[in-house]
Amino acid sequence: MNQAKTFFFMAVLTILFVWLGNLIGGRQGAVIALIIAAGMNFFSYWYSDKLVLSMYKAKPVTEAEAPDLYRLVKNLSQRAGLPMPKVYIIPNDSPNAFATGRNPSHAAVAVTTGALNLLSFEELAGVLGHELTHVKHRDILIGTIAATFAGAISFLATMARFGAIFGGYGDDDNGGGNIFVVLLVSIFASIAALLIQMAISRSREYLADEGGARISGNPKYLANALRKLDAYAKRIPFQSVNPSTSHMFIVNPLKGGGLASLFQTHPPIEERIARLERMTV
C-alpha cells in the first residue's frame, strides 16, 4: 500500500511539472517539460549520491580507519540481507546521519562525527538500521527524484508568475488567459509540490524506523537515539544545509517552527518515538 501511495505521489509530481510547462509554453512547453523531467531523473539516478556526499565533505573510511563503525555496518547489512555499502564520516559536530545511492548495490551510509561521539553502540545500531532500511526500500532514489521535481516545479511556477506579471505568458495560445488564473495556478503548484514531497518523505521515515528497529534487534535503541539526536541537533545546528537534501537525514537538520513546521519532510519526533515504543509492548 505504501509503495502504491509513493507511485501515485510521484505521478502527481510529474503531472504538475508537465502542467506548468503547458502553462508557460503551451503544448510545446509541456513536451519540453517532460523531456527535462526525464533528464532530471536520469541525472538524479546516476549522480545524486556523489553530489550529496561531496556537498557535506563526507570522507570514505575503511575497516582499518574506523573498525567499530565499519564492522557494525557490515553486521547490520548482513542481517538486512544487503550488500556492504560504502561507509562515510561527515566532519560535523551536529549529530545526524543519512544514506544515499541509487540501489542496494551502489549505496553509502554517512554518519557525522557528532553522532559518533554522542550515541552509544546500541543507539548507533538503531540509526544505521534505519538508514539501511532506506537502502533496502530504495527510498534514497525516490526521495531524490521527488526533491528534484519539487524544486523544478517551484522554479517553473516562479517563471509563470513573472511571465504573467510582465505579460509573457498571458495569452490563450500558451495556455494562460487570465493573469490571476496563472498566478493562482502557479502558487497552487508550488505548494502542492512541497506537500507531496513532504508526504512521500514522512511515509518512508515511518517505515525506515520500523525496519531499523528490527534490524538492530530492539526498538528502544532507535527510540533512545532519536531523543538524543533531536535534542542535540537543536543545540548544535547543522551548518550550511541545502534544504533540498534535508529529507535525507534521520532527523531534520533545519531549524523549524511555527508555520514552517507544517512543511517539514520529517514526521514529529514524538510520534516516531511513540511508534517505536509501541513495538516493544
As annotated, the active-site residues are: 131
Q: Which residues contact 42 (CB under 8 A, 6 or more apart)?
A: none
How far is residue 91's CA from residue 215's CA, in Å, rounded to a whole number?
A: 26
Q: Which amino acid is at 211?
A: G
- Environment class of residue 270 by beta-carbon count within 10 Å: exposed (0-12), middle (13-18) or buried (19+)? exposed
How far is residue 210's CA from residue 281's CA, in Å, rounded to a whole number?
A: 14
DSSP assignment, residue 208?
Answer: H
How far is residue 183's CA from residue 189's CA, in Å, rounded to a whole number?
A: 10
With beta carbons less than 8 A apart as the criterion, state whether 271 and 114 touch. Answer: no
The DSSP code sequence of 37-80 is HHHHHHHHHHHHHHHHHHHTT-EE--TTTSHHHHHHHHHHHHHH
Query: If DSSP codes are grouped into helix, strand and coil, which group holds residue 229?
Result: helix
With beta carbons less than 8 A apart as the criterion, state whether 229 and 115 touch. Answer: yes
